[in-house]
Structure 1
């Protein structure tokens, strides 16, 4: 088929990530920590993004033991601290990303240009070029040129995050 995929795909019904109105919980690297509340041990969730050197518990001699981090893919919904609601879904060609969409993907603006992520030393002249670098870092050096159809999912934070 040589035409626009939008002519025959209803993105609200086909999107593998959900439909408008669905709620998504954000998964992140997490672990558990044991605290004593009124003499009773209580287990709570902790997040690597907050403190990668978090202590899970202390033994009777005061020796601290680090949290055993679990990958984000294993996070249960009850451990999530951020809940999102899908507000819009569309299907677009990757290379058609707008400046606004590139910024929404987390591209970082600096005084001298745009970076694909905070720790990057590479600067680009636009958010779109910085996003291209980010995409190729994760998908491979020639993946941008393939220009695949991608799901564009807009959402609002309904719990947690910076609301």
Structure 2
């Protein structure tokens, strides 16, 4: 078991806390070139240790030259992730921006970016259950829901389905996911990484878990 960080924005932190998000998609970087478009799978054993845990792309199923890419932080099933979110120090612990935005419980001192959150400040812990590679446009309606984009309009609703407040008639999960995905990509990179570009992505599935023993409070 390895303990590794993962970043989420405020909206996705709320989705995890609400139990609506159980997977995330992250860009494969670098993207395989045009000659390497056949996904071979993960390297589990190799004379080159640096390749273990990487994913290989080949020209076709018969082999040849292989292009390797590695997951962010080499995420793998069984890893424990601590969620980095916007935060700041409190007199007896920590404040989290998502709570402040929702309940106005913190003061107005400067917030710290999620990238600088130390492990001991994390309140959300996740266990990786699966890591795979696919094209972005392979996502299904059910996978969109697992990404935490549903419900669409009501942040205060505790019901995921059948809510009288959050209308689901005519709701298109994929369209909503496209909107969310493209909003995370720089405009200058949309032609490479946006929905229409259909890039390769890591699909990282997870479940909530308790903080591991031995991690400082």
Same fold (TM over 0.5): yes
Q: Quick one: distance in 2 between partners of 1:148 and 1:11?
A: 21
Instruction: Give the aligned partner of residue 113 of structure 2.
Output: 71
Show structure 2 runs of 5+ residues with no match: 1-34, 45-52, 55-70, 152-165, 212-217
Asked which structure has the greater CA Rg, the reply is 1
| Aligned length in residues | 130
Q: CA deviation at 1:4?
A: 2.3
1:24 positional shift: 0.7
Greater CA drift, 143-152 or 124-133: 124-133
Where do 5+ consecutive residues of structure 1 fail to align?
A: 35-42, 56-65, 114-123
TM-align CA RMSD? 2.2
The answer to whether the aligner puts 1:44 opposite 2:77 as a matched pair is no
C-alpha distance in structure 2 between counterparts of 1:31 and 1:125, whole Å: 37
Q: Secondary structure at the match of 1:19?
A: coil
| 2:165 is aligned with 1:149 | no
Q: TM-score, normalised by structure 2?
A: 0.54
CA distance in 1, matches of 2:210, 2:121: 13
Counterpart in the other structure of 1:89 = 131
Gap change, CA 1:87 and 1:22, over 3 Å in 2: same
Stretch moving more, 102-111 or 16-25: 102-111
4+ long deviations beyond 6 Å: none
Change (3 A) 1:106 1:11: farther
2:167 to 101, 107, 111: 111
